[in-house]
């Protein structure tokens, strides 16, 4: 039996990991709410881990948001995320937790880099300005796991791993009109347009950027797959100073094409207006997921089916 702490289980990814892990009755799942534990409080986090004594920790907790939120609140994004990941990773080490999985983000990669993006592209160029603060915090989390492995793995047997998901969507997403990511934002806009019978829906940007999207339950399976992969097998696809693993769907789509797809699924009959005065962000962001696929993981959910499921969750919640 494994005692598994999932931090951030109320979020989209964390809740999906919790659902997946509960399918195994031998797992003892530990969770904690934000009101019960401030992850930015180092001593409180250390004491919590000391008391619970987990065998594994999934770090799915983070302060997240879309282009607007990242641009408006950079100090919050860099500070909160640095504190959360630092306290949890250091707390795990202090309390002899041998296995940790840290969830990063594909925004860690340079704005302009060769596509699809390999793990080795990290730190080879400038970041996208609109989410630079968040990206730097996530890069620090990767390097923190890496540094603990370099310094302590042989002596203490720790094994801290990092996964870099592409853009995620699905059950439990955030549909805030200003702070959400692209798929939940478009679902809300087209749904409200349909209900209110508006003549048009405004989509930020030109529609030309390309993005890759992965259904959250596929991501949860990838996390569990990486966490439980045998050490020698996992280490055969990484290197000491490049130990993170990309997790992507394998195909991308323009925001224009995505908007048309969501419009059709929801049944909105009005027009789409692309507001070119708003930022596009990175022109293209497609991950190279060769490494995780070589470990035996594959996504199961198509974009169309995933959006249909997500819309069902949205209207029923």
**Residues 310 and 169 sit within 8 Å (Cβ to Cβ):** yes
**Residues 208 and 256 sit within 8 Å (Cβ to Cβ):** yes
What letter does residue 130 receive in the DSSP assignment? G
Query: How is the chain split among helix, strand and coil, in percent rounded to 5?
Result: 45, 20, 35
What letter does residue 180 receive in the DSSP assignment? -
User: Is 249 annotated in the active site?
Assistant: no
Question: What CA–CA distance (Å, rounded) separates 83 from 91?
Answer: 12
Q: Which of 58, 68, 109, 134 is catalytic?
A: 134
Task: Determine the angle formed by the axes of helices 74-94 and 132-156, rounding to 10 degrees.
Answer: 10
Find tokens 């540094």 and name the residue.
Answer: 147
**CA nearest to 301, candidates 246, 244, 251:** 251
DSSP labels, 134-173: HHHHHHHHHHHHHHHHHHHHHHH--EEEEEEE-EEESTT-
Question: What CA–CA distance (Å, rounded) separates 262 from 268?
Answer: 9
Q: Burial of 240 by CB count in 10 Å (0-12 exposed, 13-18 middle, 19+ buried)? A: exposed
How many Cα atoms are found within 13 Å in the side-chain-facing hemisphere of 239? 4
Preceding peptide of 106 cis, ω within 30°: no
**CA nearest to 214, candidates 281, 302, 114:** 302
Tokens linked to 298: 């594959």
Active site residues: 134
């Amino acid at each position: 039996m494994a005692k598994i702490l999932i931090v951030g289980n109320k979020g989209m990814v964390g809740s999906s990991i919790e659902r997946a892990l509960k399918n195994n009755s031998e797992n003892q799942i530990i969770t904690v709410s934000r009101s019960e534990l401030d992850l930015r409080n180092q001593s409180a986090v250390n004491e919590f881990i000391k008391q619970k004594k987990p065998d594994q920790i999934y770090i799915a907790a983070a302060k997240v948001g879309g282009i607007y939120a990242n641009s408006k609140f950079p100090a919050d994004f860099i500070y909160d995320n640095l504190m959360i990941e630092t306290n949890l990773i250091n707390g795990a080490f202090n309390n002899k937790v041998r296995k940790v999985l840290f969830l990063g983000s594909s925004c860690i990669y340079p704005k302009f880099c060769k596509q699809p993006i390999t793990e080795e592209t990290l730190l080879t160029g400038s970041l996208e300005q609109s989410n630079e603060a968040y990206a730097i915090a996530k890069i620090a989390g990767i390097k923190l796991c890496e540094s603990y492995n370099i310094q302590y793995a042989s002596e203490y047997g720790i094994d801290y791993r990092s996964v870099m998901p592409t853009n995620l969507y699905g059950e439990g997403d955030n549909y805030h009109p200003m702070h959400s990511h692209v798929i939940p934002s478009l679902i809300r806009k087209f749904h409200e347009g349909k209900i209110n019978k508006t003549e048009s829906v405004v989509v930020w940007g030109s529609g030309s950027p390309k993005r890759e999207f992965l259904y959250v339950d596929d991501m949860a399976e990838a996390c569990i797959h990486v966490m439980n992969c045998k050490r020698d097998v996992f280490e055969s696809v990484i290197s000491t100073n490049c130990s993170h693993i990309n997790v992507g769907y394998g195909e991308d789509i323009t925001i224009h094409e995505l908007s048309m797809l969501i419009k059709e699924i929801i049944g909105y009959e009005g027009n789409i207006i692309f507001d070119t005065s708003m930022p596009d962000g990175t022109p293209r962001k497609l991950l190279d997921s060769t490494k995780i696929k070589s470990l035996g993981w594959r996504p199961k959910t198509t974009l169309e089916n995933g959006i249909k499921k997500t819309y069902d969750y949205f209207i029923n919640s």
